[in-house]
Structure 1
Amino acid sequence: MLVLHTSDWHLGRALHRFDLFAAQAAFVDHLVEVIRAEQVDLVVISGDVHDRAIPPVTAMRLFDEALSRMRDAGAHVVVISGNHDAPVRLGDKAGLLDPRVRIRTDVAKITEPVTVEDAHGPVHVYALPYLEPAAVVAALPAVTDEADQIDRTDEGGEVRAEGTSLTHPAVLRRAMRVVHADRVRRGGRSVVCAHAWVTGGQASESERDISVGGLAAVPAGLFDGITYTALGHLHRPQALRDCLRYSGSPLPYSFSERTDVKSSLLVELDANGLGWVEEIPVPVYRNLARLRGRLAELMTAPVHEAHVGDFVSVVLTDTIRPMDAMTTLQRRFPFALTLIHEPEASESTDGLTYRQRIRGRSDLAVAEAFVTHVRAEPSEGERSLLQAALDDARRSEEAA
């Protein structure tokens, strides 16, 4: 059986206000072509389909279209909700879908796997939506008192007092306990589709932090015995073990991901379990680059020509912040998205106190230097206004 693992589409997301709809639609086209070309049997989408709980209509339509096209290409599809998704909204029509398409957002159904058959028998897909402790603990399938006591133990061995909120690791531990019991009873190969931060995973700048409020990373050992675990949440593609992987997001959603090779994972499950895993690179919609230097150099240096069509983040090092710097930059780099001014230190003033720097300069010269530093060199009219203000201040002091 061939399984295609993808996650963290974040439909509706922008990159520093640049609309990524066209890039996300191109990814869906690519995914459908992979399903057709490789004759994929099963697609698992491990959460964060949308970027926010109430996605824009265009994002909802793109997701609906993606589901139909993946099904028509011959694949079964299993989707879970992530921490960015609204479970009720994502799964509100799950019961009306084609049986080959399953959207799982209800934690109470984690022991009802989606079963797909091949020549070697059944593959049971356990779909674990994002488990926010306060929201799901009451709906989790029942476990024994002994197991429940273990589930209140956090990563450091501290047992939480009765009545306090469970941690995210404890909730996922309880969920996996009942999953393991069910898979042993059923037999056959198993796939877990989960949205979580597993210990050892490397984050980027674009994930929403789920470590706040007692939520934390979960141990990789929770997934021991599972044929393949398809993880979502972290945007960098990475393998924690051969059978425990993040596919990563299909697009870079921060400049920290500019060197990542975005991909989906093609997974073969053979008669004995996990056969092999292959990374399928996602075509690059537009590269990301970080540039640093003075405005004049950035606008003229041939070395930067390769980045003219990239999404660009710029750090300007001019001593004085240039006027309309972003407008100027976008004449050469039309996809310049962010701009930071970090002036290079002036050797003539390094180590000098303010009094030492202004010694021997007139009040007008000091005022002009301040205006130049925070904006641009003042015009003749502005110099006249500054001089008039200084004269008024001096006269007021003399009168006092």
Structure 2
Amino acid sequence: MWSTAREVAAGDTVIIWLTRDLVQPLVIAPGKDFNTRYGNFKHSDFVGVPYGSKVVPKSGKGFIHILKPTPELWTIALPHRTQILYLADIALITSYLGIRKGSKVIEAGTGSASFSHSVARTVGSAGHLWSYEFHEARFAKAKEEFARHGMEDVVTIQHRNVCKDGFTVVDEVDSVFLDLPAPWDAVEHAKKALRKDCTTRICCFSPCMEQVLRTVSALNEAGFAEITMYETLLRPIEVFQIPQLPDVSVISEKLKHSEAKREEKRIRQIAANKQGKGKRKRDETGEEGAWDAGNEHAFNSKRAKTDKEDQDFIVSMDVMENSSSTVNAVGPSPSNETGNATLVPPPSKINIAKALTEVRGHTSYLTFARLIPIAVAPTESVALREATELEGVKGTITDNSVSTAGTTMSSTIESGS
């Protein structure tokens, strides 16, 4: 399946990863160009590049990744010819049908071959996939893809109407997958293709509930058991980071510090207001010009004392503010005496998960059922051996009866004589 080399070679099918939502396949053909929004790339520049490499154009703006194809990447990048199965449905179908290495599987409705590539990888060279497609153009395109991807030994594709003509294998496959507009018409043909010596499984892929109801009726009439239906829906989750929320104690300390600063500011405003009132009073007294020497000396002494006290108060408030700012800048230091102080951890981030508002909706309904084998009638040789053993037992019983009767008769004759 595809190339197993570590480096890209001419003729290889590769996956070009442009963005998360823009992935496309490319067949390497030296001499051709590959144009993208990031610039022009020559196919010859890809030859010899290890898979998974980031390739930058000559313009130096932007880049692309060149990847090795896998069934998962092929499902995302393949050219759509019909509605395809995506990874969620493929995984569920593979699990419930019990497809594994060495399994033999029938697929009716090849379409864009999304499911075919996944099954081919799962069964490997020890298993086989028979794929049937009614549409001739889609059949030819799928056959070409299988040949180019190196899957011819694992996949056999045929252009055939299985609802009318049935399948080309009988009593051979382990599971059947029907992706048809009318799968109920192919249920009896699928039963003929399934093995009868073990439990086998079938899955029908139908987008409408009316199709499911008719398919379930056909499965019941054909003798299938354990009929169940599933619908696979994805719910993408967006993950991002936000700063870690602060502890309550940290917030409380900040509030206390803010209240202390507000109180200090209020005290300074009161002191400044008192100083302003005293100055205005002195100015008014000086305009009257009635000062005596004693009163003037006493007033000057009192004013000097008051000014000194106010100045000392303002200086002490400034010192307290500066010391508080210094402590907050440095941060709390652990106490060696108590041993209960905690260091403030560096700020970190926490992961948040949020479901996307817009998600992909309904694809199709998956109807599963099992075909349980019935008791097998004994072969002719076994029946003959059982009959011979039974005849031998009957002969032994008859001989014993005859000998017993003879002994009784002899005893009677002797008694009579």
Q: Normalized against structure 1, the TM-score is what?
A: 0.28
Q: TM-score, normalised by structure 2?
A: 0.27
Structure with the greater alpha carbon radius of gyration: 2
Whose helix proportion is higher, 1 or 2?
2
